[in-house]
Structure 1
Amino acid sequence: SENLCKGLYLFTTELPTRPLLFDFHGVSMTHHFTDNWEKVQSFQARPDDILIATYPKAGTTWISYILDLLYFGQSAPERQTSLPIFMRVPFLESDFRVLPPGTEVADKLPTSPRLIKTHLPVQLVPKSFWEQNCRVVYVARNAKDNVVSYFHFDRMNMVEPEPGDCNNFLQRFMDGKMVFGPWYDHVTSWWEKKQTHSKIHYMFYEDMIEDMGRELDGLCSFLGLSPSEEEKERVIRGSQFDNMKNNNMANYSSIPVMDFKISPFMRKGKVGDWKNHFTVAQNEQFDEEYQAKMKNTNLQFRTAV
């Protein structure tokens, strides 16, 4: 924790300049996710590791917190009050300089299983995760809510590229010029991987909002866990949006690089908020692009519940 405090001190005194996007193995990236690339690619997964994979702003922290509660909520409850979620569930490819790189935090995790998160598209995931046949929990969120959430996130997060206005941002999203590449490619390539890899559990943000009890049962079944009704209730309660938003160990408020005066890290957590942002013209254009880009997949999303 001394390292962490040092890191947070540096964050407060040396706010980084906004990074620029560049093409990296065919995917838009910033240096924060490529500077440590050699160590990311050579990362040694263990057979019981659980990889949490998502496109940015698709419920990553939510599912991370749920898994952490499921595995360690009873055996190590002090984790929930003493360690921020980003130290319990390290962000594998991240290298923000002022905190230890994600690979280093993951290597030092004392837990079994290790919970590790990534936003990498499936083709860039370190091969040891496949060699060790690790379980992967993937969460996908409908494109319209995802882009709105991503826009507000980029406005308040200084380690993201400058978002520009919402119209330009929407265009960039449709063009796939986002950190970690196009949403369309990300969700569909992970969906395709699931068809050939039995250890991927593919979840939908909208389903989790609609019925968390049902989704938790499916998740536990995939993980081979059988928590009591009381334990499940505790996980559902702990991971409710308002509880997490007010929890300093879950809401990223300890990282001053995020300007909560612009927007909180956890903003609304709703399905259908895109209706408050899209104009009629934007919605029509988006729908047209969406049909073209998603025409070759059977992956279906809901934009309301």
Structure 2
Amino acid sequence: MARLDVTETFKGITFPGHLHTQESLLYATKFNFQDTDILIVTFPKSGTTWMQEIVTLVSCKGDPVKSQTQPNWVRAPWIEQYYCPDVLKASQGPRVLTTHLPYKLLAPALQGSKAKVIYVARNPKDVIVSYYFFHKMANFLNDPGPFSEFLSSFLDGTVHYGSWFDHVKGWTGNSRNIENFLYITYEEMWEDLRGSLEKVSRFLQCPLLEQELISVQKTCSFNTMSENNMVNYTLVPQEIMDHSKGRFMRKGEIGDWVNTFSKEQSHNFDVVFASKMADSLLTFVWEAKKSCVDSEILPLCPT
């Protein structure tokens, strides 16, 4: 299914038609969650791929075979994408699922479920930049135009998948309605990968021995993942994702936004952010607090 130039609008939110249909989006809103499910929730470009890899490796006790032989979209399919039902029919054991959908669309399906939900958030300035460059290489996304226009669309909430502000506040603000909920940030994982892995393993009730933890940490480092074609999306055909225009796993840094935002754009963003997040207690790390150069295993992550 190509549909590279198709945009689907569902419940007032736009989605790329290459992967989404009205039927697939409706299927997601009525998804039959099982209590043993693990659901990874993110706004695009917030560390989705990284958490998919972490959950895979933690669940496999550090054994890298699955992460090296199965594409991440097979290991942890997006429930709103059209291929999901077929993938789940062929899967065995506890399911790992992924979604970019806002809370309001999945709330009815999750009601009463004991599924474990992991929400990964990232500082939105880095999200914007990563999303912008992804648009430049993904042929199923519209041309983003100049960065100033893309930034305006992001702040207005008119990019694909809707408003970042509504997304992050919707999920975190309703976490009390989800029986098993873990909130973690991209920056937290970047600055303390080992501690984050222990946090995820406790949440999943899957304790790791020291050697297993070391294996997970090594396998989900940026360098390792960027060379793994089950993770870096180089399996996707060139006509769908033009790898000559950029890498899916671009930098994996905190604070790279400073290389794209002008001072005026940063100031304007801060004003909008302060207004839209006035009713939220969430805080974000905007720049790296320390260098990872001295770390034995670089805790860098994909964009």
Same-fold call, TM cutoff 0.5: yes
Structure 1 position 104, deviation (Å): 2.4
1:61 aligned residue (49, 59, 62): 49
> Within 2, Cα distance between the matches of 1:90 and 1:121?
17
52-61 or 193-202, larger mean C-alpha shift: 193-202
Asked if 2 retains the 8 angstrom alpha-carbon contact of 1:40 and 1:126, the reply is no
Q: Indicate the residue corresponding to 2:267 in structure 1.
A: 284
Q: Indicate the residue corresponding to 1:303 in structure 2.
A: 286
* Residue 15 (structure 2) pairs with residue 29 (structure 1): yes
1:182 aligned residue (138, 160, 163): 163
> Within 2, Cα distance between the matches of 1:299 and 1:103?
34
> Within 2, Cα distance between the matches of 1:17 and 1:41?
23
Structure 1 position 281, deviation (Å): 1.1
- 1:262-286 residue CA offsets vs partner (Å, 9 max, x unmatched): 1111100000000000011111111
- Partner letter of residue 25 of structure 1? K
Asked if 2 retains the 8 angstrom alpha-carbon contact of 1:140 and 1:204, the reply is yes
* Residue 81 (structure 2) pairs with residue 94 (structure 1): yes
Asked if 2 retains the 8 angstrom alpha-carbon contact of 1:43 and 1:126, the reply is no
- Partner letter of residue 73 of structure 2? F
> Within 2, Cα distance between the matches of 1:142 and 1:72?
29
Structure 1 position 229, deviation (Å): 1.0
Structure 1 position 246, deviation (Å): 0.7
1:202 aligned residue (178, 183, 187): 183
> Within 1, Cα distance between the matches of 2:138 and 2:255?
23
1:247 aligned residue (214, 228, 248): 228
- Aligned-CA RMSD value: 1.8
Unaligned runs of 5+ in 2: 289-303
Asked if 2 retains the 8 angstrom alpha-carbon contact of 1:20 and 1:161, the reply is no
Moved over 2 A (4+): 15-22, 26-35, 37-43, 72-75, 77-82, 126-132, 195-198
Q: Using the aligned pairs only, state the percent identity.
A: 33
> Within 2, Cα distance between the matches of 1:287 and 1:195?
28
> Within 2, Cα distance between the matches of 1:58 and 1:92?
17
- 1:43-102 residue CA offsets vs partner (Å, 9 max, x unmatched): 322110100000000000100011101112557x5423322111111111112xxxxx12
Q: Indicate the residue corresponding to 1:20 in structure 2.
A: 7
Q: Indicate the residue corresponding to 1:105 in structure 2.
A: 87
Instruction: Work out the number of aligned pairs and report it.
Output: 284
Query: What TM-score results when the alignment is normalised by the length of structure 2?
Result: 0.88
Q: Indicate the residue corresponding to 1:43 in structure 2.
A: 31
Asked if 1 retains the 8 angstrom alpha-carbon contact of 2:8 and 2:20, the reply is no
